[in-house]
Amino acid sequence: MVNFALLSGEKSLEQKIRDDGGQWTGGMAARVPDVDVTGVSSRVAPKTIDALNQIFTHYGHAGPTFVRALVADGLHKDLDLLNERIKATARALAGADADSAKIRAATPFAFLAVGGTLAQKFGILPIEADIGGAIQWAWRRFLDSPDALALAPDKQAVINIRQYIAERWDVSIKNVKPTIGINNREAVGWYDDDTVYLPTKRVAEAACYILGEQRLAAALDQGGHLSRRCDTTRIAIRWIPKIGRIDCYALRRSAFGRTDKDTDPDQLRVVAVDD
């Protein structure tokens, strides 16, 4: 069963939950895809507004009419076929390489796409309505929103760890070779010329607890985010230079540490060329 809700607000559902101290997870993003309409033109013609306002007078007719047409067409006798059609549409929307979470997030959009097409066939919706285009637009808006990052928890974890380190740099994440004395009071990590050392007991906190430590370790290793690992069987290292024996993850400073650069090295520079 799929339920739909139309909400109006200045904040996304993800922001609402975070503001109340909660965590926005992949399951939430998949089950409640939030389509942001920020930036959409608010200049709607009065004729269109008048047509939309008819919903306050004429409502409750399309649903029963749709069900009667569905039964008359015999589709109620082959629910598996209808279900497969929705699943196929969801897979097509999500893309060939999509995982189960992304396909699940695409399923409500697929319901609308298949249902809208059938409603056109039954004469309930105008045949000239671009339902496919509207669904594609809504899906792209969802994928481009911060809410959809929850569908890629490995990526979100790296983003969270990067922010955690930046906020604590030279405060509680300290240089292994301090210029003035040695002060490890309240330290949560250390760094040297090429590595940021984050203790294993801190990594889940740094990632905002969206993944467990084992999966986080695998994500950091497989994503190429480590400057080194202990050995072929153990990801965390057991010794920090100048600090001592502490189990930690050796993160690449080039990916997680502070930088002296003024511009993003990954950003392409566009240079105007005279004809």
Contact 222, 191 (CB under 8 A): no
- Put simply, whether the predicted model's pTM sits higher than 0.85 gets the answer no
* Core vs surface per residue 24-37: b (16+ CB within 10 A) or e: bbbebbbebbbeee
174 confidence band (pLDDT: 50, 70, 90): very high
pLDDT per position as a tens digit, 87-145: 999 999 998 888 888 888 899 899 999 999 999 999 999 999 999 999 999 998 888 87
CA distance 256 to 214: 20
Choose the weakest-confidence range: 15-19, 23-27, 99-103, 166-170: 23-27
Whether the per-residue pLDDT at 48 is higher than 90: the answer is no
pLDDT per position as a tens digit, 189-236: 999 999 999 999 999 999 988 888 888 999 999 999 999 999 999 999
Nearest C-alpha neighbor of 204 from the set 153, 253, 239: 153
Strands, E assignment, the chain: 173-175, 189-191, 195-199, 226-228, 248-252
Relative to beta strand 195-199, strand 248-252 is antiparallel
Residues in the chain, overall count: 275
Amino acid at 138: A
Contact 236, 200 (CB under 8 A): yes
* ∠ Cα 19 22 27 (to 5°): 120
